[in-house]
Amino acid sequence: MLVCMFGAVGTVYAGNGPHVPSYPRDVQSFVQDRDLCDHLRGEIPDQQPGNEEGVNEAVAAANKACKGTDARLDALNAKYANDPQVLQKLKTYEEHIEAN
């Protein structure tokens, strides 16, 4: 059985799929931001003659999206040190990815 309802409050899903854990809002926000960061990091092209502008734009976009995520990851690891479910999710993210 699959039920999807859309409304002013949000989306409700009920189905027979795998259980998806629910994380605290600050963790959800981090996951969303960091997933964008990691996506943009993967979009940085190789440095080639004549493509400096494209590389610089991709690096700038990644730096903007990634700014502050190292500190947020450290803070969330400390805050949820006794929550194995949250820690398991946070461990999927590489530490110290921001340029100094």
* pLDDT of 37 strictly over 70: yes
Q: How confident is the model at residue 95 (pLDDT cuts 50, 70, 90)?
A: very high
Which residues contact residue 94 at a Cβ distance below 8 angstroms, ignoring those fewer than 6 apart? Answer: 38
- Please report, to the nearest 10 degrees, the dihedral formed by the alpha carbons of residues 79, 82, 86, 87 taken in order: 90
Partners of 67 in beta bridges: none
Q: What is the pLDDT of residue 19?
A: 56
pTM of the predicted model, to two decimals? 0.74
pLDDT band at residue 16 under the 50/70/90 scheme: low
Residue 69: its pLDDT value, please?
97
CA 11 – CA 17 distance, rounded (Å): 16
